[in-house]
């Protein structure tokens, strides 16, 4: 049975949700998705308000609404996966915000712009190496071309030595893990993800141990120093915080870049403008995130009935916040269908809003703009792609997962 075009798991909504935006933006209507017990929100004001609302939690356990037997069965079958997924949010009622603060405290210092600037040469070296086929091949798949960039960058950031077996293990286990984080992943994918999560914890655990005895100027060393200075941090939380970082920073960046190339090739005038004036790239990255968001939804649970401008999200609802819908709300972003690298993007929600705001925003912008610069340098403007050959994985609730985009380079 085919799903309605506004259903989160339909191919149409995943690949091109604009018809849904047109349907709901006029009166800011919430969409009730009965089979998921979910409410999908697309208007800018409501998305922004619910991102950081006192009655909207990111912690399923805190809401105390899940079927406890089903949750216990999942935790028994996939213990590492389940505990890694709830690490940032806490697993017991009341624990959520304290735990989330701890994780932010551990990770935040390394994401100051100054630190990220130092990463510029590393990112540039990784991008040039991984994307070099763009200079010689006549046909290639953009999604596959860029997919390793964020993983390699983050493993360098974490201080995992590329020459070691752990680096290979890390690059192999991370994608398996990501596939299983999806709340509706098949059991077989969860089995693989459980193994992936275990390997990832082992690799990161070894990296932490290594840095304890051999401190360096890298992220792990700093996280350890912060944890030691606090004196109240469970060593497992140090490793878990790194897992969260990897999970939050990899697929988002990979998908952003693939979608950015799609936008670039669909807008030859803007493409040439950017090629001529690289000063536009920084703002263009934000406009690309608005125009083709890698995020399908930020997910919350309403802990009470939540009223918003005459509509209600019932207690216990899975609340799906469409960042892309917010970026296409014509009340806030005029003529949203126009891709404009000069657009004023103040108020953009592409990196979230409020307490959960993206910790990797500077690294993300650095990676995407470096990749974009590389494409502007090496992709001829005669390059083309065929929309019908793009493939998607519609069953991802969090991300608009583009899985393949073959392009004809020259």
Residue 181 CB, nearest approach to ligand HEM (Å): 13
Structure-token match 């790194």, residue found? 242
Smaller CB separation from ligand HEM, 40 or 368: 368
Q: 112, 95, 89, 110: which is closest to 355 by C-alpha?
A: 89
Instruction: Provide, rounded to whole angstroms, the least separation between the CB of residue 108 and ligand HEM.
Output: 9
Q: C-beta of 221: minimal distance to ligand HEM in Å?
A: 16
Least separation in angstroms between residue 371's CB and ligand HEM is: 10
Residue placing its CB nearer to ligand HEM in the complex, 58 or 267: 58
Residue whose CB is less far from ligand HEM, 157 or 409:
157
In degrees and rounded to multiples of 5, residue 32 shows phi and psi of -100, 120
CB distance 304 to 310 below 8 Å: no
Q: Please identify, using beta-carbon distances, which residue of 182 and 295 lies nearer to ligand HEM.
A: 295
CB of 368 to ligand HEM, least distance (A): 6
**Nearest distance in Å: CB 3, ligand HEM:** 24
Helix 281-291 and helix 361-378, axial crossing angle in degrees, nearest 10: 100
Q: Which one, 300 or 409, has the nearer CB to ligand HEM?
A: 300
Q: Which CB, 329 or 409, lies closer to ligand HEM?
A: 329
For residue 290, the Cα-to-chain-centroid distance in whole angstroms is 14
Q: Which residue is nearest to ligand HEM (CB)?
A: 360
Q: How far is the CB of 149 from ligand HEM (least distance, A)?
A: 11
Least distance CB 380 / ligand HEM (angstroms): 25
> Given the complex with ligand HEM, which of 90 and 180 has the nearer CB atom?
90
Q: What is the 3-state secondary structure (H, E, C) of the chain?
A: CCCCCCCCCCHHHHHCCHHHHHHHHCCCCCEEEHHHCEEEECCHHHHHHHHCCCCEECCHHHHCCCCHHHHHHHHHHCHHHHHHHCCCCCCCCCCHHHHHHHHHHHHHHHHCHHHHHHHHHHHHHHHHHHCHHHHCCCEEEHHHHHCHHHHHHHHHHCCCCCCCHHHHHHHHHHHHHHHHHCCCCCHHHHHHHHHHHHHHHHHHHHHHHHHHHCCCCCHHHHHHHHHHHHCCCCHHHHHHHHHHHHHHHCHHHHHHHHHHHHHHHHCHHHHHHHHHCHHHHHHHHHHHHHHCCCECCEEEEECCCEEECCEEECCCCEEEECHHHHHCCCCCCCCCCCCCCCCCCCCCCCCCCHHHCCCCHHHHHHHHHHHHHHHHHHCCCCCEECHHHCEEECCCCCECEEEECEEECC
The residue (of 80 and 257) whose beta carbon lies closer to ligand HEM is 257
Residues forming the site for ligand HEM (CB under 6 A): 51, 58, 88, 100, 104, 107, 154, 244-245, 248-249, 252-253, 256, 289, 294-295, 298, 350-352, 356, 358-360, 363-364, 368
Question: Which lies closer to ligand HEM via its Cβ, residue 138 or residue 217?
Answer: 217
In the complex, the smallest distance separating the C-beta of residue 155 from ligand HEM, rounded to whole angstroms, is: 11
Residue among 330 and 356 whose Cβ is closer to ligand HEM: 356
For the bound state, the minimum distance from the C-beta of residue 150 to ligand HEM, rounded and expressed in Å, comes to 6
């Amino acid at each position: 049975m085919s799903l309605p075009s506004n259903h989160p798991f339909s191919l149409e909504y995943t690949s091109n949700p604009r018809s849904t935006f047109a349907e709901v933006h006029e009166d800011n209507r919430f969409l009730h998705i009965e089979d998921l017990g979910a409410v999908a929100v697309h208007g800018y004001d409501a998305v922004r308000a619910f991102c950081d609302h006192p009655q909207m939690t990111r912690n399923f356990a805190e809401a105390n609404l899940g079927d406890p037997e089903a949750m216990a069965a999942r935790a028994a079958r996939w213990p590492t996966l389940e505990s890694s997924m709830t690490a940032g949010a806490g697993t017991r009622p009341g624990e959520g915000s304290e735990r989330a603060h701890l994780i932010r405290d551990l990770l935040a210092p390394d994401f100051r712009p100054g630190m990220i600037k130092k990463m510029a040469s590393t990112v540039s070296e990784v991008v040039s190496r991984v994307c070099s086929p763009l200079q010689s091949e006549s046909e290639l798949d953009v999604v596959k071309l860029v997919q390793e960039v964020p993983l390699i960058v983050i493993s360098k950031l974490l201080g995992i030595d590329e020459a070691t077996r752990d680096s290979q293990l890390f690059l192999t286990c991370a994608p398996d893990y990501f596939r299983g984080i999806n709340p509706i992943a098949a059991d077989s994918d969860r089995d693989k993800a459980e193994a992936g999560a275990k390997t990832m914890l082992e690799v990161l655990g070894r990296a932490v141990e290594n840095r304890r005895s051999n401190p360096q100027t890298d992220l792990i060393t700093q996280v350890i120093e912060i944890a030691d200075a606090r004196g109240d941090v469970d060593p497992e939380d140090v490793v878990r915080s790194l897992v969260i970082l990897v999970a939050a920073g990899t697929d988002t960046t990979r998908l952003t870049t693939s979608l950015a190339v799609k936008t670039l090739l669909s807008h030859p005038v803007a493409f040439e403008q950017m090629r001529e004036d690289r000063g536009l790239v920084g703002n263009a990255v934000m406009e690309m995130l608005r125009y083709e968001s890698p995020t399908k939804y930020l997910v919350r649970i309403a802990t009470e009935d939540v009223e918003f401008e005459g509509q209600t999200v019932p207690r216990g609802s899975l609340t799906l916040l469409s960042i892309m819908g917010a970026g296409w709300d014509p009340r806030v972003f005029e003529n949203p269908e126009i891709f404009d690298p000069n657009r004023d993007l103040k108020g953009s929600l592409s990196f979230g809003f409020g307490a959960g705001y993206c910790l990797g925003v500077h690294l993300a912008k650095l990676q995407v703009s470096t990749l974009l610069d590389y494409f502007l340098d090496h992709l001829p403007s005669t390059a083309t792609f065929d929309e019908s050959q793009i493939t998607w994985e519609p069953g991802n609730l969090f991300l608009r997962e583009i899985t393949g985009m073959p392009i004809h380079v020259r």
